[in-house]
A = this chain, B = another copy of it.
Amino acid sequence: MAGGAKARRLPRVVRERQMLDAAVRSFARHGYQAASMDEIAELAGVSKPLVYLYLNSKEELFTAVIRREAGALLGAVAAGVGGPEVPPDERLWAGLLAFFTYAAEHPDSWVVLSRQARTQGEPFAGEAARMRDGIVRFVAGLIGEAAAEVEGGGGITSRDVDALAQALVGAAESLAGWANETPGVTAKEAAATLMNFAWAGLGNLMKSERWSPR
Q: Contact residues of A with B, CB < 8 Å?
A: 31, 33, 87, 89-90, 93, 118-121, 125, 159-160, 162-164, 166-175, 177-179, 182, 185, 190, 193-205, 209-211, 213-214
Contact = CB atoms under 8 A, between A and B. Distances in A.
Q: Which of A119, A200, A209 gathers the greatest number of chain B CB atoms within 10 Å?
A: A200
A154 to B, nearest CB: 10
Contacts of A163: 175, 178-179, 185, 190, 193-194
A214 B90 CA distance: 8
A51 B162 CA distance: 43
A174 B167 contact: yes
A124 B120 CA distance: 14
Contacts of A199: 201, 211
Nearest to A125: B119
B211 A196 contact: yes
Contacts of A162: 178, 182
A208 to B, nearest CB: 11
Contacts of A164: 193, 197
A93 B212 CA distance: 9
Contacts of A196: 201, 204-205, 210-211
Contact of A119 (B93, B118, B173): B118
Nearest to A119: B119
B166 A178 contact: yes
Residue with the greatest number of chain B CB neighbours at <10 A, chosen from A119, A169, A201? A201
Contacts of A125: 119
Given A119-B125, A193-B163, A201-B196, A172 B170 contact: yes
Contacts of A209: 200
Given A31-B121, A162-B178, A174-B167, A197 B201 contact: yes
A160 B90 contact: no
A123 to B, nearest CB: 14
A121 B119 contact: yes
A181 B160 CA distance: 15
A120 B173 CA distance: 20
